[in-house]
Structure 1
Amino acid sequence: MKRSFYLFNPGIMERRDNTLKFTPVIVNEDNEEIKQQPRYIPIEDVAELYAFGSLRANSALFNFLGQKGIPVHFFDYYENYTGSFMPRESLLSGKALLAQTSAYQNKKKRVELARKFIQGAAWNMVMNLNYYNRRGKDLQDIIDTIKRLSNTLPDAKAVDEIMGIEGNIRQAYYAAFDIILDDFNMGSRTKQPPENEVNALISFGNMMCYTETLRAVHQTQLNPTISFLHTPGERRFSLCLDISEIFKPIIVDRVIFKVLNKHALSTSHFDKKLNKCLLNEKVSYT
């Protein structure tokens, strides 16, 4: 079964027949590179690669990955998503592109679609909160607030109004995190960089959800740059931002609640420096 591979260490990636060879590299105090024990990954086991450390590779490797339909997602030092290598699109459709563009240009249709994304997200947030509310966490007031805000979405006549309602819904939802979590506090939502463990997990999980959505969209005839909730912009796949809004509560947030409350992760899995908190390489062994 194919799965995702996460490369947290800097290193060299090469092709060896139908196998990927990854050699981690460390730099000593004399600025000398020391190659570590290489790891071999059969290509048929790889769904996609996530590169969090510096990755050295040549065009032959990317040609090979492109032929096998394997994307590579890149992240910077602060674990912010910076871009992806995506295999050539094989499902291009002019008819689908015209229909998607037409839906974006039609204000009524765009507002309708944008509303659906947030209604789906709010529904899943409430599902999460109901689960913990039934298990002794006092979340009913927050649930009622999100439902009340969600009920105002049909009255919104513009995407900006919908985004404003979404912001209020998410603010109420994030207030529940400190009630749900037993040993960690989130406080307010901080990013670029995140300031504590919970915010670090949210940022990391949201990026994973975004890249998984991007991979799924590339397997359809949809154009990932034409979106309805988020404004289409240069150098970003904004449709993936739209779609991932629905899934973040049930994929990202549920996992965060589970791994922290079951102590699968601890403070040792994070590096805190000044006002930033990032996951460290220990996570790859968890």
Structure 2
Amino acid sequence: MKQTIVIFSDYTEIKKKAGRLYIETPKTKGSVPVTNIDGVLVFGKASITSEALSLCSSNNIPVIFLTTYGLIKGIVLPPYNSSFLYTRLTQVKLNLFNRLEVAKYIVKKKCLEIESTFGLDLEAIQLNIEKIQGFSQLLGIEGYASKLMFNSFSEMLKTTEFTFTERTYNPPPDEVNALLSFVYILGYNLSIGTILIKGFDPYISFLHVKKGAHAAFASDVLEILRPKLTYFVGQLIRENEVLKEDFEKRDNGYFLKKPVLTKILDRFNLMKEKLTNSIKEFLAELEKFKDD
């Protein structure tokens, strides 16, 4: 599998050096052969030379620029690529004719992730998914699986200064929900970038419904990542990487203070490759999806 270059850093420089992409951040520097790259995601301030862009374009490598918190600033796509067109057509066809079956597959993938991450047994839930005939039933089962996951997550925090009772947001009513929201946003934005790199449309969804500018397919993908991201939040708290003093209350909700964001991004940076590979694995499965 080719590598997706994901950079979470301000003041990144990207250049061409002898058929390789040379990437330098304030903390690291190195080069990667373009033959090993399928896309570049840059979160934060960055400069890239025209020679590096040309190298990416001639090798069908998309480059996507985002803010530190994931808002897309710009997308540089290679010339017309027939494989991208095929991917989009496959996605549209699945949305029109197999939407429920794909949605069920996403929920089953999420259940498997919950099992492997939190050590729960969700076999009975997965068997019930096969019998579902409509979206309301599926969303009910997905919600129940999430509840079991959050119960285990709550147990993780029992020896800390934090407590968690239920997932609530807009605005987050406590520190843990504020941290979950921030980490989920990172996962959502990583999903958008990877979806675009692999030629899919982030708005053509299966489980979630598009509302406004919401990239609903990125939310679909996020459900598969959510168990790992939730456990990651638990680790941050248990290892005292995030403390009560790192939050402030305003507008009837809790929000992270700016100084701790860099620390969270540094830790997230360590798991970005694993998350990106999980997204790419699912997208590859989707291209070959068959309704059994």
1:185 aligns with 2:163: yes
Q: 1:5 aligns with which of 9, 12, 18?
A: 9
SS, match of residue 198 in structure 1: helix
1:71–1:84 contact (8 Å) kept in structure 2: yes
User: Cα distance, 1:280 vs. partner?
Assistant: 0.9
Match of 2:241 in 1: 264
Question: Is 1:275 the equivalent of 2:252?
Answer: yes
Instruction: Name the CA shift for 1:113/1:282 in 2 (closer, same or farther; >3 Å).
Output: same
Are 2:93 and 1:102 equivalent residues in the alignment?
Answer: yes
How many Å separate the matches in 2 of 1:160 and 1:50? 39
The 1:152–1:4 alpha-carbon spacing in structure 2 relative to 1, beyond 3 Å, is same
Residues 1:85 and 2:62 aligned together:
no
1:235 paired residue among 207, 210, 213 = 213
**Structure number with larger C-alpha Rg:** 1
Residue 275 of structure 1, CA deviation: 3.2
Q: Cα 1:50–1:16, aligned 2, differ >3 Å: closer, same or farther?
A: closer
Match of 1:222 among 200, 203, 206: 200
Equivalent in the alignment of 2:232:
255
SS of corresponding position for 2:76: coil
CA distance in 2, matches of 1:62, 1:201: 32
Aligned residue type for 1:220: K
Deviations 1:208-237 (A, max 9, x none): 001111111111121221111112444222
Q: 1: distance between equivalents of 2:184 and 2:261?
A: 17
| C-alpha distance after superposition, 1:56-78 (max 9, x if no partner) | xxxxx8998x9582411476xxx
Which residue does 1:138 correspond to in 2? none
> Which SS does the other structure have where 1:179 is aligned?
helix
- What are the Cα deviations for residues 33-71 of structure 1, in whole angstroms up to 9, with x where unaligned? xxxxxx9899989942259xxxxxxxxx8998x958241
Count of equivalent residues? 228
Q: Map 1:16-31 to 2 at 5 A.
A: none
Given residue 179 of structure 2, which amino acid in structure 1 is its aligned partner? L
Q: Which moved more, 1:162-171 or 1:267-276?
A: 267-276
Query: 2:246·2:260 contact (CA, 8 Å) conserved in 1?
Result: yes
Distance in 1 (CA, whole Å) between partners of 2:105 and 2:13 is 46
Q: Distance in 2 between matches of 1:118 and 1:165?
A: 9
Aligned to 1:124: 113
- For residues 154-195 of structure 1, give each alpha carbon's deviation from its aligned partner in whole angstroms, at most 9, with x where no partner exists: 111123321121112212221222211121111121111112
Distance in 1 between the 2:114 and 2:219 partners?
17
Q: What secondary structure, in the 3-state scheme, does the structure 2 residue paired with 1:151 have?
A: helix
Percent identity for Structure 1 against Structure 2: 19
Amino acid at match of 1:72: L
Q: Retained in 1: the 8 A contact 2:64–2:76?
A: no
Cα offset, 1:276, TM superposition: 1.0
Contact 1:89–1:218 (8 Å) recurs in 2: no
Asked if 1:114 is matched to 2:103, the reply is yes
Cα 1:271/1:88, change in 2 over 3 Å = same
Q: Which runs of 5+ in 2 are unaligned?
A: 16-24, 32-39, 57-62, 264-292
Please name the residue that 1:32 is paired with: none
d(CA) in 2 for partners of 1:270 and 1:204? 12
Distance 2:14 2:89 in 1: 41
Partner of 1:54: none
For structure 1, list consecutive stretches of 5 or more residues without a partner in the other structure: 7-12, 19-38, 52-60, 76-80, 131-142
* Separation in structure 2 between the aligned mates of residue 159 and residue 269 of structure 1, nearest angstrom: 39
1 CA distance for matches of 2:116 and 2:225?
12
Give the structure 1 partner of residue 42 of structure 2: 48
Cα offsets for 1:125-167 (capped at 9, x unmatched): 122222xxxxxxxxxxxx35x4433331111112332112111
Measure, in 1, the Cα distance between the counterparts of 2:14 and 2:194: 27
SS in 2 for 1:153: helix
Q: Choose from 189, 192, 214 the match for 1:211.
A: 189
Residue 20 of structure 2 is matched in structure 1 by none
Summarize the Cα distance change of 1:112–1:74 in structure 2 as closer, same or farther, 3 Å threshold: same
Q: TM-score, normalised by structure 1?
A: 0.68
Indicate if the aligned counterparts of 2:167 and 2:177 stay in contact, CA closer than 8 A: yes
TM-score (norm 2): 0.66
1:121, distance to aligned residue in structure 2 (A): 0.8
What is the RMSD computed on CA atoms of the aligned residues?
A: 3.4
Does the Cα contact within 8 Å between 1:197 and 1:270 map onto a contact in 2? yes
